[in-house]
Amino acid sequence: MLADGRKRQEVAHHFIVHPVTIGRWSARYRRLGLAGLQSQTEGNRGRKPKISERHLEILKEAALASPAGLGKSFENWNFARLARYFFQQSGISITPHYAALLLKRMGILTLGHARRATAPQQIVVWFSLGIRPKKSSTADGPGERHVLYIGLELRSGRLTIHRTTRIQTAHFVEFLRMLLRDYSGHRVLLLAGAEDFVRTRRLEDFLKSHGEQLEVVSLAQAAIHPSKLRRRWHNTEAGKDFGFRSNSLGQLARNLEEAVRSLKLVFSRD
């Protein structure tokens, strides 16, 4: 890349290292050729790395865990907090920037402009129940009620739909399984009205066993304050730590309108 005329800063960004490291690699190649790049310690004269695989696991587990679960009073990690926690657990001091690079190299972090940890990437799905009353009985038998368990991914407008004739915990759990399949490799945050599902023992057991991939938040209307919503929206857009991070409010509205049109087509086919 350097021989092709690429700048050192650009090459460093590609390999997620400091530009000084690129200069050091280049100098080693000029002195020793490819062998110098394969053995970067040059005869074991380099110092041993102070961060071991065990230390990396400490950082990784912290980034993937909820701060509250580790006894912290804040809701979200940032790199400065992760660096401080890493020092407390390992006794090794690292900068927030280096913490970000380590997480990036482990493949569990997307770097946002505000340097917030999003590992693994979280998407936000809005949940709703669609219910069509029973049709009147015919000669072929009694009419059936149509129930749709609906999930709208807020960033893309993608729909996940589970069709059934009853509202039961078993059907809600099956819908959650569909979400996990649709968004494999992501962490799903499902926002639902408090009246849209019941927290039974079976549901709680399912959520507990899939806690790393799925979280269901019930939104009680009385508990939502407008100022809190505005603060969450601005923090989200600036920190890029939720799945709808690149959307404007206008795009969210268009996604909702498109979802309504799609659902009308689904019901019209019945």
Query: Could you state, in order of their start, the residue ranges of all structural domains in the chain?
Result: 1-48, 51-119, 122-268
pLDDT of residue 172: 93
Distance from C-alpha of 251 to C-alpha of 257, rounded to nearest angstrom: 10
pLDDT of residue 222: 45
Q: Which pTM value belongs to this model? A: 0.47
Distance from C-alpha of 91 to C-alpha of 102, rounded to nearest angstrom: 17
pLDDT of residue 48: 59
Are 84 and 70 in contact by the 8 Å Cβ rule? The answer is no
Identify whether 226 is preceded by a cis peptide bond (ω within 30 of 0).
no
pLDDT of residue 54: 85
* Ramachandran region, residue 150 (left: φ > 0; alpha: ψ -120 to 50; beta: rest): beta
Distance from C-alpha of 84 to C-alpha of 62, rounded to nearest angstrom: 11
pLDDT of residue 236: 45
CA–CA distance from 115 to each of 107, 182, 231 (Å)? 15, 28, 18
Instruction: Give burial (CB, 10 Å; 0-12/13-18/19+) of 109.
Output: buried
Distance from C-alpha of 120 to C-alpha of 151, rounded to nearest angstrom: 20
Q: For every one of its 270 residues, what pLDDT tens digit does the chain have, with 9 covering 90 and above?
A: 898 888 888 888 777 778 888 888 888 888 888 877 776 554 455 555 678 888 888 888 888 888 888 888 877 788 888 888 998 898 888 888 888 888 877 776 544 433 344 445 677 888 888 887 766 555 555 556 788 899 988 877 888 988 888 889 999 999 999 999 888 878 888 888 777 788 889 999 999 888 888 888 877 644 555 555 555 544 444 334 443 444 566 777 777 788 777 777 766 665
Please report, to the nearest 10 degrees, the dihedral formed by the alpha carbons of residues 100, 104, 109, 115 taken in order.
30
CA–CA distance from 157 to each of 17, 58, 78, 139, 154 (Å)? 36, 36, 28, 40, 5
Right CATH for 122-268 from 2.10.260, 3.30.420, 3.30.1490, 3.40.50: 3.30.420
Distance from C-alpha of 98 to C-alpha of 104, rounded to nearest angstrom: 10
